[in-house]
Structure 1
Amino acid sequence: MRASANYASVLSLLSASAVNAQCASGVHIISANGVIEGGVGKIGEFVTALQAKVPGSDTEAIPFNQPYAAYVQAQPAVLADVVSRATSYAQKCPDTPIVLAGLNRGAHAVMDAVCGASSDQFKTTEPLPADILSKIAAVVTFSDYSWLPGQPWSRGDATGPSTYPRKNPAGCDPVATKIASYCAAKDPWCDKQVTDFVENAYLPAKVPEAVDFVVSQLGNKA
């Protein structure tokens, strides 16, 4: 019996070691792409910069393979994917901080994951549960389809409205200090003032600021 108990103990330790080996020692970045983007997409510039700043970080990308015409029908599946991946990783690696990042359509899904969906034409949803939200260190988005000016997390000179403005921004209150959401004036998706197609043109300039924001959030968790 003692040998069996010892064997079980060894197996348990080996299993725990295997799980720990799969957990990032830095942060785990879950990024949701813009429409019809494979791989890490344009948001990859931010992801790469953050990995360089926080050694030991890893990433997984969620593609958005549907055209804009099918956006309203396709977005809930991307939202469900963000929720599923964040939940799974938080449960598997509870000691690794999670960073959520998204670009335009993907940004909308990321924000819905942490705030709950509340835009017109989309089914209302609840945000991630508190125990999962507590594992999320920061949320960074660019050109969010549900962007609102004047919110604690709003960054940039856009005045709105966005394509699908968030109707219940109070849903973001529990994570408001963890969010940095960037939108520049005349971005046709988050500012909806289509006079100059500046979508994503400001992303490279804002990457250092966004990375510093995440690092500051990690310091707050220390």
Structure 2
Amino acid sequence: MLFPLSLISLGILGARVATAGPGGGDAGAKACPEVHVFGARETTTPPGFGTSQTLIDLLIKRFPSTTAEAIVYPAAGGDEYSKSVGTGILAVVRQTAAFAVRCPSSIIIMHGYSQGAQIMDDAFCGGPDLPQLNSSVPLVSGAVARGVAAIIMMGNPRNVEGLPYHIGNSTAGGFAARPKGFRCRQFEDRIQSYCDSPDPFCSNGNDPVTHQGYGKEYGQDALEFILSKLVAN
């Protein structure tokens, strides 16, 4: 699916910047943006964008009128991880739906990192995953499904070998891997998911530095993917 964007096709966007804080409460309050990006941080990172900030900064640098909104959820680890994922899924569904109602003509970009990728994966591709998610269908609203142009996931624990949108050299699944043969058919042409084999969370490696490095390693590639979805032929 391609999203025509006249100003992007001209290589320019307006100079106004309207980046929302972690709550995203004032995003688009003055005027709806052409592009709005949601970012979800990794486990145990303080509220905000976490490592998803790297790609978000690249996008805003390229097109300064892009607005950004952090998914508000615990991003908890340990015994609270399962509950945190369930809360995060609901946060993705609710925040994106609220924005789509407020700004129905805006284009939506999603970017999740680690646990943040897992909650976006579940919200757009369904479950089952953990006790909190038993639905096998997408949970996002129809307006969000129509408005989302690209979904970027980095270090996703739901990674599994063979997905058509996988980028990287991992051949093993993450600790919450999808079942073999899984497809996210409604959105797979809009997803790019990054995972390399040394990663201990989206793969079976033992190098946490790899897990934290996707923004630097693949940020430009992800940005070009997003742009390919924004500009019509």
TM bracket, shorter-chain basis? 0.7 to 0.9
- Please name the residue that 1:68 is paired with: 78
- In the alignment, is residue 183 of structure 1 matched against residue 191 of structure 2? no
Which amino acid is the alignment partner of residue 89 of structure 1? Answer: F
- Please name the residue that 1:7 is paired with: none
- Please name the residue that 1:94 is paired with: 104
- In the alignment, is residue 54 of structure 1 matched against residue 66 of structure 2? no
Aligned-pair CA distance for 1:202: 3.3
Aligned-pair CA distance for 1:119: 3.2
Aligned-pair CA distance for 1:121: 5.0
Aligned-pair CA distance for 1:64: 3.5
User: Take 1:20 and 1:203, find their aligned partners in 2: how far apart are those partners?
Assistant: 29
**Alignment partner of 1:169: what SS?**
coil
What CA deviation, in whole Å up to 9, does each residue of 1:35-79 have, x standing for no partner? 122221111010010111223101111253422331112111011
- C-alpha RMSD over aligned residues: 1.9
User: Take 1:214 and 1:118, find their aligned partners in 2: how far apart are those partners?
Assistant: 28
Question: Do the aligned partners of 1:115 and 1:169 also contact (CA within 8 Å) in 2?
Answer: no
User: Take 2:173 and 2:223, find their aligned partners in 1: how far apart are those partners?
Assistant: 26
- Please name the residue that 2:19 is paired with: none
User: Take 1:34 and 1:64, find their aligned partners in 2: how far apart are those partners?
Assistant: 10
Question: Do the aligned partners of 1:90 and 1:132 also contact (CA within 8 Å) in 2?
Answer: yes
**Alignment partner of 1:173: what SS?**
coil
User: Take 2:132 and 2:200, find their aligned partners in 1: how far apart are those partners?
Assistant: 20
- In the alignment, is residue 169 of structure 1 matched against residue 182 of structure 2? yes
- In the alignment, is residue 111 of structure 1 matched against residue 121 of structure 2? yes
- Identical amino acids, percent of aligned pairs: 23
Return the structure number with greater helix share: 1
User: Take 2:212 and 2:143, find their aligned partners in 1: how far apart are those partners?
Assistant: 33
Which amino acid is the alignment partner of residue 77 of structure 2? Answer: P
Question: Do the aligned partners of 1:188 and 1:199 also contact (CA within 8 Å) in 2?
Answer: yes
User: Take 2:131 and 2:170, find their aligned partners in 1: how far apart are those partners?
Assistant: 23
Structure 2: give runs of 5+ residues left out of the alignment: 1-27
User: Take 2:94 and 2:205, find their aligned partners in 1: how far apart are those partners?
Assistant: 34
**Alignment partner of 1:72: what SS?**
helix
What CA deviation, in whole Å up to 9, does each residue of 1:19-49 have, x standing for no partner? 7833113x11111110122221111010010
- Please name the residue that 2:44 is paired with: 36
TM-score normalised by L of structure 1: 0.83
Aligned residues: 200
User: Take 2:92 and 2:80, find their aligned partners in 1: how far apart are those partners?
Assistant: 19
Question: Do the aligned partners of 1:119 and 1:165 also contact (CA within 8 Å) in 2?
Answer: no
Aligned-pair CA distance for 1:106: 0.6
Structure 1: give runs of 5+ residues left out of the alignment: 1-18
- Please name the residue that 1:135 is paired with: 147
User: Take 1:71 and 1:57, find their aligned partners in 2: how far apart are those partners?
Assistant: 31
- Please name the residue that 1:79 is paired with: 89
Question: Do the aligned partners of 2:40 and 2:70 also contact (CA within 8 Å) in 1?
Answer: yes
- In the alignment, is residue 148 of structure 1 matched against residue 157 of structure 2? no
User: Take 1:100 and 1:217, find their aligned partners in 2: how far apart are those partners?
Assistant: 12
TM-score normalised by L of structure 2: 0.79
